[in-house]
Amino acid sequence: MIKILVPAKMGTTLEHLKRSGRHVSFPNGTDFGTIESTGDTVVRLRSYDIPVETIARCDVGLCGSDCVQEQSLEHELQFQTIATFKYGREFNTLPSLDLIAPNDGPKSIEDIKPGNVILTEHPNITRDFLESCGLPSARYGKNHGNPSDPKKFEEWCIENGLVGIRIVHGKIGALVSIEKGLGVMVNETGTTLRENGLHVVSRIYPIETVLIVNPESLRTKEPEIESLRKDLESAYIAICKERESTSVSPERLS
């Protein structure tokens, strides 16, 4: 038997497991469930925490590739991916991590200036992206050698020729709209952008759902993990055949 982690707010992963012959039952609305056919344990967890928790105390995890990349950069860890699936919260839509701004804000990377502050749940990916564009950056917070006052942080960034990065957990679109600032967020259908009068300045990269594994578990439970991987891949092929396309919806705002 193996322990599987899935995102708490991503029903497609549970449907994927079900289609692979692994229906999960969560008694009394808890986040701790079981698969009757295999006896495996399934735990619903915040997506961002799945990579580290997989190697800390579980066997495999299903989550977004952005979470894996961010945690890899944050903790200098290497996560082992054994399968990749092109879906997000919907099977027919591929999310992406995007740099966003208000419709009357910056139109391109060249428009971003020192003192601009980017709100995001992905500070490390954002930093690397900015650096790849020739934009040095600094992360807000008392442990990063800059002012603890957010307004003084912006002034400090201007003085030092830096783009600021500030961590915000959720509702980034609304905050960017209110503050007339910038954000890096997961964009799946474009609804959040349309509702808040925002547009994509730059697409950082597409996000896929990945199956990651605890290396120790792969050594001790390889038959069970390999069976899960094969069944998920077969189920994914069947899911794709039932839909007209697995590409990004044409109505998505870009």
- Sign of the dihedral defined by the CA atoms of residues 128, 129, 134, 136, in that order: negative
Paired tokens of 53:
């928790």
Residues facing 119 on adjacent strands: 166, 183
pTM of the model: 0.92
pLDDT of 39 reads: 96
Nearest-angstrom CA–CA distance, 37 and 17:
12
Paired tokens of 95:
């999310």
Q: Is residue 251 pLDDT above 50, yes or no?
A: no
pLDDT of 245 reads: 55
Q: Is residue 150 pLDDT above 70, yes or no?
A: yes
For the stretch 101-149, pLDDT in tens is: 999 999 999 999 999 999 999 999 999 999 999 999 999 986 678 999 9
pLDDT of 243 reads: 79
Q: Is residue 252 pLDDT above 60, yes or no?
A: no
- Mean of pLDDT values over 160-175: 96
For the stretch 16-39, pLDDT in tens is: 999 999 999 999 989 999 999 999
Q: Is residue 181 pLDDT above 80, yes or no?
A: yes
Identify the CATH class of 96-206.
Answer: alpha beta
Domain(s) labelled CATH 3.40.190.10 in the chain stretch across 3-92+207-242, 96-206
- Mean of pLDDT values over 81-87: 97
- Just give the CATH number of 3-92+207-242: 3.40.190.10
Q: Higher model confidence: residue 16 or residue 92?
A: 16
Q: What is the gyration radius of the CA atoms in the chain, in angstroms?
A: 20
Q: Is residue 248 pLDDT above 90, yes or no?
A: no
Paired tokens of 211:
């199956």
- Mean of pLDDT values over 224-249: 85
Closest to 221 (Cα-Cα) out of 45, 28, 38, 25: 38
pLDDT of 144 reads: 74
pLDDT of 253 reads: 40
> How much of the chain is helix, strand and coil, in % rounded to 5?
40, 25, 35
Q: Is residue 244 pLDDT above 90, yes or no?
A: no
The proportion of the chain whose per-residue pLDDT surpasses 70, expressed as a percent, equals 95
Paired tokens of 32:
């701790």
